Amino acid sequence: MAKFGTVFCDYFAIARYEDGTWQQPAITPVAPISLHPAAHVFHYASTCFEGFKAYRWEDRKARIFRLHDHVARMQKSAASLHMPIPDADLLAGMVLDVVKKNIDEIPQPPSALYLRPTMIGTLENIGAAAAPTTDAILFVLTSPVGDYFEGGARPLKLLVEDQKARTTEQLGSTKTGGNYAAALGPTLDAKEKYGVDQVLFCPDGDVQETGAANFMLLSDDEIITKALDTSFLHGITRDSILRLGEDLGYTVRERNFTVDELLRCAATHEAALSGTAASLAPVGCLVHNGEQISVMDGRPGPNTEKLRAALQDIHSGAAADRHSWLTEVA
């Protein structure tokens, strides 16, 4: 399977927002979008997106995981950027139509069809630094993606960054391109300097998240993860793992914790990253102040594996969808 995100299905869904209304969406062959060089997105970063997956079961029907939660998060991102807010039915309908159109290209679980709704501001005005875009294009691109864990789950190595933030407090829970631009420099530096996979951003010692995944600590009886606030992205996988954890008898503790506590917990708790791409990925090593700290014995822990399996069993249909997280596409 090609590298994640580099291969696309032939069709995408697209809709324009002009004169205060959404135009009828269309399903068309994926093709370049032509924009005026003054488009708001190029200058003032009016853009937001989503990332989630559709799975194809043996009955050949597709199931989209937590469609309505991703639509709601996209609406929240659009609102926080003062962009046109896509109607929930419009966006969900575009996703359903594009999955249906590309259904034969969805690989078997644990591979999936990655879904990428994206909205960009198209107002032609380079003097609109302090004004929102009034026009937008919304599209849904799809990409067949493989198993992140092909060849087994490799424990990740994270740099614990206790000074810099991933992004700003007001946009931390918005899924917007600028946040990834902000995290890129520190992440590339850490990869080069320490050979880590990711940076765990902990500004002023507050353990938040990495560049593209949430962070949690797990033991045989509890799951600890940062309480929701505006500083980080409210991952749908995070929420799914917490709810499955409750079902399996874990005590879920959504509370803030510090780097000091994290480093102490490395001896007693497993650590993991949660996100659509990685589902629940084990963390085996933390780097802090130039020192390497092993998380437990450095290998993927049983609680991480149990919770990841519980989630993946819902994706593949091996376990019942007790929370009604799947939307069927015939």
Ligand X SMILES: Cc1ncc(COP(=O)(O)O)c(C=O)c1O
Binds ligand X by CB under 6 A, chosen from 9, 39, 182, 212:
212
Which is nearer to ligand X, 83 or 213 (by Cβ)?
213
Direct distance between the N- and C-terminal alpha carbons of the chain, in angstroms, rounded to an integer = 25
Which is nearer to ligand X, 212 or 314 (by Cβ)?
212
CA distance 76 to 123: 20
- DSSP 3-state assignment of 185? helix
Answer yes or no whether residue 237 interacts with ligand X by CB under 6 A.
yes
Give, in order, the Cα–Cα distances in Å from 166 to each of 182, 231, 280.
6, 9, 20
CA distance 323 to 242: 12
Q: How many residues in the shown chain lie near ligand X by CB under 6 A?
A: 13
Binds ligand X by CB under 6 A, chosen from 64, 159, 236, 266:
236
Least distance to ligand X, CB of residue 38, Å? 29
CA distance 292 to 195: 11
CA distance 29 to 12: 6
Site for ligand X in 21-80 (CB under 6 A): 51
Q: Binding pattern to ligand X, positions 285-324, x when CB under 6 A? A: ----------------------------------------
Task: Select the span of 79-87, 149-157, 268-276, 310-318 touching ligand X (CB under 6 A).
Answer: 268-276
Task: Name the residue among 189, 198, 205 with its Cα closest to residue 277.
Answer: 198
Binds ligand X by CB under 6 A, chosen from 41, 213, 216, 266:
213
Task: Select the span of 11-19, 101-109, 210-218, 287-295 touching ligand X (CB under 6 A).
Answer: 210-218
Q: Binding pattern to ligand X, positions 122-161, x when CB under 6 A? A: ----------------------------------------
Task: Name the residue among 60, 63, 58, 53 with its Cα closest to residue 104.
Answer: 60
Sequence-distant (6+) residues with CB within 8 A of 270 are 217, 218, 219, 282, 283, 295, 296, 300, 301, 302, 303, 304
Binding-site ranges for ligand X (CB under 6 A):
51, 209, 212-214, 233, 235-238, 274-276
